[in-house]
Amino acid sequence: RAYSLVDSSQVSTFLISILLIVYGSFRSLNMDFENQDKEKDNSSTTGSFNGNSTNNSIQTIDSTQALFLPIGASVSLLVMFFFFDSVQVVFTICTAVLATIAFAFLLLPMCQYLTRPCSPQNKISFGCCGRFTAAELLSFSLSVMLVLIWVLTGHWLLMDALAMGLCVAMIAFVRLPSLKVSCLLLSGLLIYDVFWVFFSAYIFNSNVMVKVATQPADNPLDVLSRKLHLGPNVGRDVPRLSLPGKLVFPSSTGSHFSMLGIGDIVMPGLLLCFVLRYDNYKKQANSDSCGAPGPGNISGRMQKVSYFHCTLIGYFVGLLTATVASRIHRAAQPALLYLVPFTLLPLLTMAYLKGDLRRMWSEPFHSKSSSSRFLEV
């Protein structure tokens, strides 16, 4: 959640969260382009542009999932609150595995760039494990190395790197199909965030959200050494681990850390990814119609403003507002309380003024368009 952010930690939080959202959104858009190219190669028939990719690794959230996701998140939060000591090792291992895969995905473009001059893009077979390129193997090896160093040291910078990988992977592989689903999901998560930050203490005598987010877990190496009775000096000097479910940055004085949950990046990031795909879809549709102008009551300058830029500015203002609120109240704030209105309301207003609200509200990507790949940002 958004805590007291000061000096360099505040700037770091703003910049990193915005960069993660922008990078994850463009990775998602590039995956759409790659999938379209594969479909064209595998079939001679060309269908309509569909923002919901047919790639099996991509998960599209429907209305039912959007409604029940806050409930599932609440159940998971309660399990972690009441049974943390029992499930912490399993949860730590699962988180480490997911973070390894996500960080490998984050490193993949860099590894592809490094291996392109010196190795072919042919895939290497590993039997039942599958076939992988040299870039994929390199990115996975680097990711495993980073996770092992994080387990041994527990350093906050390595934890941040893993959290960044989780943010980018979730934004790239999870899709919102329409504005209706976006509103349902973000509104439900806003209620979820407000309840567990502001009102959970009245029921459970403790701030459930803050306790779960800040509670460190036992290091699996320490647990393993105790289970196997390896001796008092084997695995006992490793630190407890703060799990990569958040970004933390030290203040300029080093006296405390500022904190932002990855849910406060990923959930608005899914909305940003949706509007970026819609901007690209609308640009393709306009090019097909030879640049037909928008509604007559909207100025040309308004038509040139993209939904992506509008929503991204709203995210920045919402995060800034959450920071100011945490400074004033000197307590944890539900960041989605500020991020959701500052992203959704400008988007809905602009969509209404441009005449796109009805189309964006329900399955906006089912229309024939060109395969143009150029995007102005």
- The string of pLDDT tens digits covering residues 37-94 is 777 766 655 444 444 444 567 889 999 999 999 999 999 999 999 998 888 888 889 9
Of residues 311 and 283, more confidently modeled? 311
pLDDT of residue 22: 92
Of residues 156 and 126, more confidently modeled? 156
162-187 mean pLDDT: 94
pLDDT of residue 325: 84
> Would you call 37 a catalytic residue per the annotation?
no
- The half-sphere exposure of 217 on its side-chain side, counting CA atoms within 13 A, is 27
pLDDT of residue 149: 93
- The answer to whether residue 303 scores a pLDDT higher than 80 is no
pLDDT of residue 376: 45
Q: How far is CA 287 from CA 65, 209, 292, 299, 366, in A?
A: 35, 48, 8, 19, 16
Strands 174-175 and 257-261, by their bridges, are: unpaired
- The answer to whether residue 30 scores a pLDDT higher than 50 is yes
Helix axis angle for 307-329 and 336-354, nearest 10°, is: 150
> Which residue in 32, 160, 222, 264 is the catalytic one?
264
In whole angstroms, give the CA distance from residue 137 to residue 370.
Answer: 35
Domain residue ranges in the chain: 6-38+56-116+128-283+298-360
> Which residue in 193, 222, 279, 356 is the catalytic one?
193
- The answer to whether residue 377 scores a pLDDT higher than 50 is no
Nearest CA among 182, 337, 161 for reference residue 262? 161
In whole angstroms, give the CA distance from residue 270 to residue 260.
Answer: 17
31-42 mean pLDDT: 75
In whole angstroms, give the CA distance from residue 146 to residue 297.
Answer: 55
- The answer to whether residue 105 scores a pLDDT higher than 90 is yes
Spell out the alpha helix ranges (H) of 174-262: 179-194, 200-204, 208-214, 220-228
- The answer to whether residue 125 scores a pLDDT higher than 70 is yes
- The answer to whether residue 36 scores a pLDDT higher than 80 is no
pLDDT of residue 162: 93
Q: How crowded is residue 124: how many other Cβ atoms within 10 Å of its Cβ?
A: 12
DSSP 86-128: HHHHHHHHHHHHHHHHHHHHHHHHHHHHHHTTTS--PPEE-GG
pLDDT, one tens digit per residue, over 317-328 is 999 888 888 878
Q: Dihedrals φ, ψ of 177, to 5°?
A: -80, -20
pLDDT of residue 164: 94
- The answer to whether residue 367 scores a pLDDT higher than 90 is no
- The full length of the chain comes to 377
- pTM greater than 0.75 (yes/no): yes
pLDDT of residue 339: 94
Query: 170: pLDDT confidence band, cut at 50, 70 and 90?
Result: very high
- The answer to whether residue 3 scores a pLDDT higher than 50 is no
- Mean pLDDT, the chain, rounded, equals 82
- Tokens 């500022």 identify what position? 258
Output the six-digit token pair for 226.
Answer: 């105790």
Lowest mean pLDDT across 1-15, 295-309, 312-326, 341-355: 1-15
